[in-house]
Structure 1
């Protein structure tokens, strides 16, 4: 049983794919050297005109379809047409522009991630400072105020938890968008290196149109994403200070009565 060799090229004239060994005649026989070779493909029939059995090497802008050179003399005679290679060149620029946009959006979102992480640290520090202040104030108060002390601490932690929870959701959302965009950049990069013009044009139409792109926050919305990194607990602190003062005044008044 003969070992099957890997197919490396497909001939659009022979309508067959060949391994390195059987491909040699296309490089050596003068009449075969003119045959058009492309990357090995299992779907050669898709590159052939169903009406004329010729290679689809023309793009009709009027009908937005791929045609052969015989179609140009028939139903597409007066249409606006261009070679597949030339059309690929046009679309290649669109691909590069899309790549640049995606890279820029990644940078913007990575910057926002760093800002959110810094905001998280600021919130934690602010919350911790507020808790320590409340601890200091409540230790100066009598034991009957311990219940209030616990309630105030829970209030602070609740505000901290709410802000951190929101920041976490935003971080996860941005990181997911970055992953989706990086995957899109990879797909665009892979597509940019293909030598199969028809495959390129068929895929770029889907990728650039965005029909299969993951839902994402629009750039203008991304700039509005923020968390309250300057979360203030001054209200709690001021209320406790006022309470302490009133308690001291009350105690002083009562001590005079003793």
Structure 2
């Protein structure tokens, strides 16, 4: 009874297993913390269940180690021994018997020593992985920044497009109104001229109709005296215009639409020049490190000491952000306008206006 009571008291005093600790494989229900593991039994014991290994003679011969979990995984499948060594040739865990047989000539070290080496490598791998993660996060951020900049550029381009095209649409509407007004005014002027001529003709017709009536009436008179007296007033025709030289010419609209289109073209050219100047200004506000290729660079170009500018004699030319645009948006030869180098054509240099360093 005393022994049983003592055992019960010891069980109550023993700590329960905590997360990360090795539990007793014998405890029913709630497991206690293991104090030893037996390599012969493949079982971990708490203090109570470990007691027979301290008392029974046969069990005393068992090989005991500090508590280990998954004991079966730690045993060599071939020799049924604890794997305490590491073969550096084949990079596997081995037992003492393995070093005397299959791994006899292989360099082996204790697991603890190899653990330290691998732990250092693991730290390096972790650092490399973290660096790769950081690089990819940076790539993600760059992509997001690119999308953000692209969206800002798109919004600005849309806003500029709306502003310019709206202005052009207003101009086109105004030109259309002016064209319609001008055509209507010409038509109205022609119609007024025609109406005045028609009115004048109708008045002359009315006068001539009255004269015709008087002539007919006089032709029926038998009174000689009255006839001769009236004939004298009817002999001369009423004053009328010579209509052989009078005509109504329809208004000419030839060239009206073309002149409006010419005005539109002029406005478009002005807007294009404004946009080109704005784009060139945006391109020129960046500076980059550059290297002049001796095979392609103009012989008069000289790179500045800070590598941010190109000097053309006394003229300093700032370079765009993208060096590839140097041949398209920036003058790489003296006084050449942007875009000139993009095209090839036969040309003649005017000695009065061409730059002295230019040659065909």
TM-score (norm: length of structure 2): 0.34
Q: Which has the higher helix share?
A: 1
Highest relative contact order (Cα 8 Å, sep 6+), 1 or 2?
Answer: 1
